[in-house]
Structure 1
Amino acid sequence: IQFESLLSTLKIMQHDLQVRFGISKPRIAVTGLNPHAGEDGHLGREELEVIIPVIEAAKREGILASGPYPADTLFHADRLHSFDAVLAMYHDQGLAPFKFASFTEGVNVTLGLSYIRTSVDHGTALDIAGQSKADWRSMFAALRLARELALTKLNHDASSS
């Protein structure tokens, strides 16, 4: 993991959560890379050497980032209500709990693009293509969210000009 890459990702998240989702002061949780967020360097040093300095730099830039949190306890419903988004350190760390909680209606949103991109969260499902077996709910949710994001961005752009 790289300092500049993580800080850039937090900046993109902050911007898109404000502009596309209409969250004026998004609260972003950052996971650790190592088990138990490294346990003060006993299980890995990435938290101490990279992640914590990134969070501190983000805070200096006005980003409400906090952590690093152990991923195995962060995704509990009682904890997630405190955050608007989570920056996970790798794909399966964030998507496994997300898919567990909302597999049929989950939506993948790509942030940092000049256009809105949403997709179903379950992947292409090529193994069942053309067999009338696919669940339509995730596609419907992706389309609905794309519409909502477009409307929020239009409202943001109108109020900014």
Structure 2
Amino acid sequence: MSDQQRPAGVSPPVAAVFASVVFIALSIGGLGVVSLILDADVIPVRGLGAIPGVVGQLLALAAFAGTLWWGLRADPPGYVVAVPCSIAAYLGEVLGIVVGALVSGADPARGLAAASRVALGFPGPVVALAALLAALFGVLLVRARTNGPRWRWEDDDDL
């Protein structure tokens, strides 16, 4: 590349979407694997059903995506934006458990107990680590400056 400007990486909104998909996949997969290894429930409080877990993941996803999109607006974005994304996803998961329990009509004490068990047990750190890795991936997508794949004969210099 002689005097041409290097191409930009993925645009911030697209990177935020890709990183969000990676986050939710890592989060759900990580929770499942760690739950299987430890032979423990993700939400160990009985009688809540699946709604608190689903709402927790949705709130964690929304908090992650919003924080990452905000962080990717910098030019160039720094990798340190992964830390607030991790914290936001962790807090979104914990708050989502409480909201999900209330929405499902469960006892508020059970919802708070479930949220505290998620926050202090293995699920909170698993969600936070998934968010950290996915946010680093999102920043990498924006910062990467590469050309698409090209064959040697496609270069204009050889014509």
If the TM-score is normalised by the length of the shorter chain, which range does it land in? under 0.3
| Largest Rg, 1 or 2 | 2
TM-score (norm 2): 0.24
TM-score (norm 1): 0.24
Q: Which has the higher contact order (CA 8 A, sep 6+)?
A: 2
